[in-house]
Amino acid sequence: MLLWFAGCSLVAVWLVFKDPAIDYRLVVAGALLPDAVDVFLGGPRYLHSLAAGVATLTLVMLATRGRRGLRRRLLALPIGMFLHLVLDAMWARTEVFWWPAFGLDLTGDELPSLARPAGVLALQEVAGAVALAWWWGRFRLSEPERRRRFMTTGRLSRDLAGRGPGSGRS
């Protein structure tokens, strides 16, 4: 379930913020982090809770006081983590989503992204691939300089931020 989380998170953050200066690599890292960690814990655990995203957001805000650029970059990580919760529909798993409000025990269950029927998983991955293809084309990442900038900084070229359909600007 890599493409689903990566592609949908990139597109969602772009459509909401339309900001080429966000480190989109950290958005993807945050969106993949809950499954990457909790798979080793045996299912949806701490990183699938709202508390983990809030704690990460709080840590970023406290650790970056007076360092606006660093704060701006690191905020992408909890944003990605929150998007993972949305894309995994974690609100439907009350005991995990609201942990520790309903108790400290988090046992059983498998990761939501692995528990769905194979057909649903396939459709989600296709949707993620379509989102990534849109992203690639929209920001012309086939051009080596644009791709290099994105891969090294996580940022997009400002000259493309306001152009084309779906950019939100006239």
pLDDT along the chain (170 residues), means of 10: 95 95 96 92 89 97 95 96 95 89 79 88 97 96 96 91 52
Residue 134, pLDDT score? 97
Half-sphere exposure of 154 (CA within 13 A, CB side): 18
Residue 48 lies in a domain: yes
**What domain range includes position 47?**
2-160
Q: How far apart are CA 5 and CA 3, in angstroms?
A: 6
Q: How far apart are CA 81 and CA 131, in angstroms?
A: 18
Residue 168 lies in a domain: no
Residue 170 lies in a domain: no
Total count of domains within the chain: 1
The dihedral through the CA atoms of 142, 148, 149, 152 has a sign that is positive
